[in-house]
Structure 1
Amino acid sequence: MADEASGPEWPGDHAPSVDLRTDVPHSARMYDYYLGGKDNFPADREAAAKVLEIFPDVAPGARANRRFLGRAVRFAAGLGIRQYLDIGTGIPAAENTHEVAQSVAPDSRVVYVDNDPIVLTHARALLAGTPEGRTAYLDADFRDDERILSAPATAALDFTQPVALLTVALLHFVPDEDGPGDVLERYKAVMPPGSVMIFSHATTDLVDDSEESKAVVRAYTGAGVGLMPRSRDRITEFFTGWDLLDPGVVPVSEWRPDGNPHDSALAVSQAGAFGGVAIKPA
């Protein structure tokens, strides 16, 4: 699909129609279910329930990942970043990127990218930013970097000034054969010095039971959703060429914690993902 929106309203008189495959599980809707959202369907809930039966910590891990996103965006805003390219944004939940960024700097501009039709149906909510800022949405796949970077919606961003690139809980859905690192490098290449990369990725390194981890992957695969957790070393490679900030690549609940009691109570094995933030050097 190639529908996109930018500015405060949809182009034309109404939102584009979409083909919702409610009978097929989708990772974004499963994630919404883990977060306690309501924008999911029986097929999503059935697939997510199978995962939760094997590994109940998926739900608190998803919520920890969401809190990581909020802290990282606040950090980027504190550095003076006023532009955000959020790829794989998912269904609107608490503290979306534009809400966090514009709470710090109302003139922040945010471009969301996702390829789930139900996210498209919620684009009006995503587009409700501050009057001073701008929020846009593009329906596209992470792997289609040329279209994303050249799309009219992305013109909301000025690539002569620093941009925050977000790929949060995304690349574990991109298999090695699709070259996720190579695709990410193409995004990194167009970012000017001073840009920030906010990144998290599922891992099995934090789980002691390897059979349990394999069962989770099989549950996703059996539902038609490819999942490829990667090691900490492999995840760290995604930051190559940029300056990784302290505390480095760590469980998402341990990246610059802000005292949230949920993160404080979360066991490392429950985090389920590593996260990190890096800056592009001059």
Structure 2
Amino acid sequence: MLNDERSWKGPGALADTGNETFRRPNPARVHHLLSGGRDSFQVDRDFAQALFDADNTIVSAAHINRDHSTLTARLLVKRGFEQVLDLGCGYAYDWSKPLQRHDPPLLREVLPDATIVHVDIDGIVAGCAQSIMAGASGNPSVLQADIRCMAEILAHPQVAPRFDRDRPIAVLLHEVLPWIEDDQAVASALAVLRQWLPSGSALSITHATNDLSLTPDAQTKLTSLWDEEAVAFRPRTRAAIAALFGDWPLMDPGLVPTAHWHPDHPDARAPEAHSGAFAAVAIKPGPSERSCS
């Protein structure tokens, strides 16, 4: 069952919309394009230009978020994590012949011996993940699913049997939650996830925000452009993003503009507005730690 292609489609998976998929800009493809990837269509390129015209920091924000994902994965290696749940995995980046790896590297290239499960609501993204991100190393798995169906995802045969819940699990939720407009649905999904994860697990979130905009209406313009394409885009405040971690303590440097989470990286010199998002990583405390807080 674990390797059965029919099990790719999980709870809330979007139905195949045929050619309609290529007639409208797609959030995953647009983000991939803005961050240096090549998997896009003319409709995505035209829309990306409209977004750039509304707020020219979106390119730096996309690159910063891309770099943050790789840097965070390397941090997880140093902390000994061997299990990763990648929620909203997005498109893989291009193969670099000089480096002999994808650039930036795939999760399984950073954590070659880890158990990795990739989840994305987009069927094309999930299919690309299956063909590019998956492989023999690390026993990876891919599931097309909607993270609002968190309980069903965590119980799915492509997910549950792959994780040893007696050991910590790292979860990546990078620039995924802004695409869910319903605040209560996001809060409920995160509550289910936090409860399911074993003590010592890590939760890494990046989330778009209006709080860092250069002008008051910059994110409003971006949101309006997506609205015109019938795509919900919901930047949230710093306080709303902090609440997604529940009572888990944040690793240093806390909840900060994404570029500033890795102070030794060149991105850290970028102005706050160029991140366009906040980032944090939290570690689930054990029962005794909770009782003492």
Q: Which residue of 2 aligns with 1:30?
A: 30
Q: Which residue of 2 aligns with 1:97?
A: 107
The Cα shift of 1:152 comes to 1.7
Tell whether the 8 Å contact from 1:68 to 1:253 is kept in structure 2 after alignment.
yes
Q: Which residue of 2 aligns with 1:127?
A: 134
Q: Partners of 1:180 and 1:140 in 2: how far apart?
A: 15
Q: Which residue of 2 aligns with 1:61?
A: 61
Q: 3-state DSSP class of the match of 1:243?
A: coil
After TM superposition, the runs of 4+ consecutive aligned structure 1 residues lying more than 6 A away are: none
The Cα shift of 1:6 comes to 5.2
Aligned residue pairs: how many?
266
Tell whether the 8 Å contact from 1:245 to 1:277 is kept in structure 2 after alignment.
yes
**Matching of residue 233 in structure 1 with residue 243 in structure 2:** no
Q: Which residue of 1 aligns with 2:283?
A: 279
Of stretches 172-181 and 213-222 in structure 1, the one that deviates more from structure 2 is: 172-181
Tell whether the 8 Å contact from 1:168 to 1:200 is kept in structure 2 after alignment.
yes
Q: Which residue of 1 aligns with 2:47?
A: 47
Deviation readout 1:37-78 (Å, 9 max, x if unpaired):
221222222222211111111111111011111122221221
Give the 5 Å matches for 1:197-236.
197-236=203-242
The Cα shift of 1:144 comes to 1.3
Give the 5 Å matches for 1:181-200.
181-200=187-206
Deviation readout 1:6-38 (Å, 9 max, x if unpaired):
56xx648xx999555111222111111101222
Gap runs ≥5 in structure 1: none
Q: Which residue of 2 aligns with 1:109?
A: 115
User: % of aligned pairs identical?
Assistant: 29
Tell whether the 8 Å contact from 2:58 to 2:274 is kept in structure 1 after alignment.
yes
**Matching of residue 157 in structure 1 with residue 159 in structure 2:** no
Q: 3-state DSSP class of the match of 1:148?
A: helix
**Matching of residue 253 in structure 1 with residue 259 in structure 2:** yes
TM-score by length of 2: 0.85
The Cα shift of 1:99 comes to 2.2
2:154 corresponds to which letter in structure 1? Answer: L
Q: 3-state DSSP class of the match of 1:244?
A: coil
Q: Partners of 1:252 and 1:138 in 2: how far apart?
A: 27
Of 134, 141, 147, 2:146 maps to 141
The Cα shift of 1:279 comes to 0.3
2:284 corresponds to which letter in structure 1? Answer: K
- The RMSD of aligned alpha carbons is 2.1
Greater RCO (Cα-Cα under 8 Å, separation 6 or more):
1
Q: Which residue of 1 aligns with 2:71?
A: 71
Q: Partners of 1:153 and 1:249 in 2: how far apart?
A: 32
Q: Partners of 1:28 and 1:113 in 2: how far apart?
A: 13
1:135 corresponds to which letter in structure 2? Answer: P
Tell whether the 8 Å contact from 1:6 to 1:127 is kept in structure 2 after alignment.
no
Q: Partners of 2:40 and 2:60 in 1: how far apart?
A: 18
